[in-house]
Amino acid sequence: MILVLDASVLIAYLTQDDTHWSAAVRLLLDATDNDTELMVNPVTLAEVLVGPTRDGREDQVLTALADIGVTVAPFPPDSSRILARLRSAGIKMPDCCVLLTALHHQATVASFDERLLRVAVQHRIPVLP
């Protein structure tokens, strides 16, 4: 199984005082225990790195993500058209990027963003939690 991670999951995992921290830790531990491939797209990773970059912790965060097996999935060649279709439906571009990655890899989306999860389900993309 491939799990495409939204920034909300990774930010929660990296921030112990985040409301979703324990849920994120459980989700990622379960995924790694089940040999689930963890994937992000470049835009999601950039979102995750904004705060750590300001604090000089970018390398530390990249190492932490690599340690749990998160890989960066490049966008497919037809990304612009698919992203435009998703964006025209009224969702934000970072969410479009998550959905594009999930569609391209026939993967499940993990997010704490209820709106993103609803849109994923509308596009017949499996979701967690």
Give pLDDT tens digits along the chain (129 positions).
Answer: 999 999 999 999 999 999 999 999 999 999 999 999 999 999 999 999 999 999 999 999 999 999 999 999 999 998 999 999 999 988 899 999 999 999 999 999 999 999 999 999 999 999 987
Q: What pLDDT score does 107 carry?
A: 98
* Furthest C-alpha separation in the chain: 39
CATH number at residue 47: 3.40.50.1010
Pairwise CA distance, residues 34 & 30, whole Å: 6
Report pTM.
Answer: 0.94
Q: Is-contact 52 63, C-beta < 8 A?
A: no
Q: What pLDDT score does 9 carry?
A: 98
Q: How many domains does the chain have?
A: 1
Sheet containing 70-72, strands listed edge to edge, beginning at the edge strand earlier in sequence: 70-72, 37-40, 2-5, 108-110, 127-128
Pairwise CA distance, residues 116 & 114, whole Å: 5
Q: What pLDDT score does 18 carry?
A: 95
Q: Which residues have a Cβ under 8 Å from the Cβ of 120 and sit 6 or more positions away? A: 98, 99, 102, 109, 111, 126, 127
Q: Which residues in the chain belong to E strands, given as ranges?
A: 2-5, 37-40, 70-72, 108-110, 127-128
Q: Which domain holds residue 67?
A: 2-128
**Rounded alpha-carbon distances, angstroms, from residue 98 to 45, 78, 116:** 11, 15, 9
Nearest 5°: the CA angle 86, 5, 56 is: 110
